């Protein structure tokens, strides 16, 4: 229990909550109010690599993620949970370690606003151990587009799981990535490397969709084998599902 404040005794209050020291000093009856100290830390780890700047209808994945994280963090903070934010690429690391206070929540929002997609996901994540606490209950959201060069994201995610936490991967994709609703001859550019690839949409669509389906299926199976939850979110879909997911996972840890 964490002390909150004193208030005057009112008829019907539990007499066990009376503060006898205040009575001795002031001659008046006061109730000592307390708050239950949270035992859950909710951490948001954001993939801040440049591929997260991919846009659909003028909305980038990074912009979508910022609104998503702000919404979930507000809900967590309102529940009395400690909230923290980490965003990384091979150029920068943003760190806001979990706390409960409202002032801390405002700092988290400011740091969230300042995140810029840049570079790639770091190949070496030796410091990933600092992103979670193996001694306390945690709900960890890793938010990413799962764009990787050599399984670096998959390996990072697996290291996040402990016996005392829930890890949830929120995979952010646009509808044009999912449905490949392009036409004609196209030139795709890798946002992280600058490499380009020329394709014909009609010739490529079937092969692309099959490869995407296999990739997502393999990813789900790998995460499930490591007791990690996976959920896909589309840029054109509402965020209400994410809020329901948060409440469900939080209740699992209580």
DSSP letter string over 179-230? H----SEEEEE-TTT--EEEEEHHHHHHHHHHHHHHHHHHHHHHHHHTT-EE
Domain ranges of the chain: 2-35, 40-253
Lookup: tokens for 90: 């091979």
The pLDDT assigned to 1 comes to 46
The CATH class given to the 40-253 domain equals alpha beta
Give pLDDT tens digits along the chain (254 positions). 445 567 787 776 677 777 888 888 888 887 776 544 456 889 999 999 999 999 998 999 999 999 999 999 998 888 888 899 999 998 888 899 998 888 899 999 999 999 999 999 987 766 555 676 666 788 999 999 999 988 899 999 998 998 888 899 999 999 999 999 999 999 999 999 999 999 999 999 999 999 999 999 999 999 999 999 999 999 988 888 877 877 777 777 65
CB 113, CB 138: distance < 8 Å? no
Q: Which pTM does this prediction carry?
A: 0.80
The pLDDT assigned to 28 comes to 83
Tokens 């014909």 -> residue: 200
The pLDDT assigned to 108 comes to 95
Burial of 103 (C-beta count, 10 Å sphere; 0-12/13-18/19+): exposed
Q: How far apart are CA 171 and CA 143, in angstroms?
A: 6
The pLDDT assigned to 207 comes to 95
| Alpha-carbon distance values, 31 to 1, 7, 36, 86, 145 (Å) | 15, 5, 16, 40, 51
How many CB atoms sit inside 10 A of residue 143's CB?
26
CB 9, CB 19: distance < 8 Å? no
Residues 6+ positions from 164 with CB-CB distance below 8 Å: 134, 135, 136, 137, 138
């Amino acid at each position: 229990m964490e002390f909150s404040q004193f208030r005057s005794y009112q008829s019907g209050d539990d007499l066990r909550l009376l503060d006898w020291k205040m009575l001795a000093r002031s001659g008046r009856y006061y109730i000592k109010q307390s708050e239950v100290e949270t035992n859950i830390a909710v951490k948001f780890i954001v993939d801040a690599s440049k591929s997260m700047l991919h846009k659909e209808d003028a909305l980038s994945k990074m912009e979508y993620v910022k609104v998503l994280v702000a919404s979930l963090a507000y809900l967590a903070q309102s529940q009395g949970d400690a909230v923290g934010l980490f965003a990384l690429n091979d150029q920068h690391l943003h760190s806001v370690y979990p706390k409960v206070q409202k002032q801390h929540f405002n700092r988290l929002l400011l740091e969230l606003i300042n995140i810029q997609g840049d570079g790639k996901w770091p190949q070496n994540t030796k410091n990933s151990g600092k992103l979670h606490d193996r001694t306390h209950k945690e709900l960890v959201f890793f938010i990413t587009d799962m764009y990787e060069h050599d399984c670096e994201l998959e390996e990072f995610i697996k290291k996040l799981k402990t016996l005392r936490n829930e890890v949830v991967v929120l995979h952010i994709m646009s509808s044009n990535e999912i449905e490949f609703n392009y036409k004609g001859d196209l030139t795709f550019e890798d946002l992280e490397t600058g490499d380009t690839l020329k394709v014909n949409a009609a010739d490529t669509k079937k092969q692309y969709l099959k490869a995407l389906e296999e990739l997502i299926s393999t990813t789900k199976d790998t995460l499930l084998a490591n007791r990690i939850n996976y959920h896909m979110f589309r840029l054109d879909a509402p965020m209400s599902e994410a809020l329901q997911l948060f409440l469900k996972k939080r209740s699992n840890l209580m």
